[in-house]
Amino acid sequence: MTKNLSEETYRLEGITFGLADGLIMCLGLIIGVAEVTSDTRFVIITGIIGGFANAFGNSIGFFMSQSAERALQIHETTDHGVSTRIHSKREIFTNTFFAFASTIAAVLVLLFPFIVLQMNHAVILTFAIGTIMAFILGSYVGKTSHENPYKEGLKYALLAILGAIISHFIADRIQLLI
């Protein structure tokens, strides 16, 4: 029972990582590209390409990080007699998959308004959806870690907003240069 619970907890780590990074990176990318181009089709194409590249980067980075952590756990247990939990290979592959899938899910949710709405409405709705998703994710992390869910949700939402604002600012500067 304990093994399954901790594997489930670690699976949530991959999902949380993929969602957080996917939300913040893709929200910034989408807002920035929308500001520079005002072209819905270009926003969608860039969002899909950037989202998949981000998902591959997230999942590969997550795989490498957990593999290295597993090696360290094995070393500590074998060479130093430390009693610690060791990530299973299955757990690492499962987390890798969930990091990838949750990043793609975040991208698709953030791009959907651009498929059904005009550019100006899509940008506003995407910004709102991204901020709300970040708040919900932060609240969940806060609840899971026995911290104040509201404060953690607010922290995640503010990070998403900050990423979007910085991307919007960079897009404005690029427009001045081009």
Structural tokens at position 20? 């957080």
For 31-53, the pLDDT digits (tens) are: 999 999 999 999 999 999 999 99
pLDDT < 70: residue spans in the chain? 1-11
| pLDDT in the model for residue 178 | 83
| pLDDT in the model for residue 45 | 98
| pLDDT in the model for residue 17 | 87
In sequence order, which residues have a C-beta less than 8 Å from that of residue 6 and are 6 or more positions away? 85
| pLDDT in the model for residue 9 | 65
For residues 105 and 17, give the distance between their C-alpha atoms in angstroms, rounded to a whole number: 12
CA 87 to chain centre: 22
For 8-27, the pLDDT digits (tens) are: 666 678 889 899 999 999 99
| pLDDT in the model for residue 2 | 45
For residues 31 and 43, give the distance between their C-alpha atoms in angstroms, rounded to a whole number: 9
| pLDDT in the model for residue 130 | 97
**Residue 76, CB-side half-sphere exposure with 13 Å CA sphere:** 12
**How many angstroms separate the Cα of 8 from the Cα of each of 14, 83, 91, 128?**
10, 21, 9, 30
Structural tokens at position 148? 């104040």
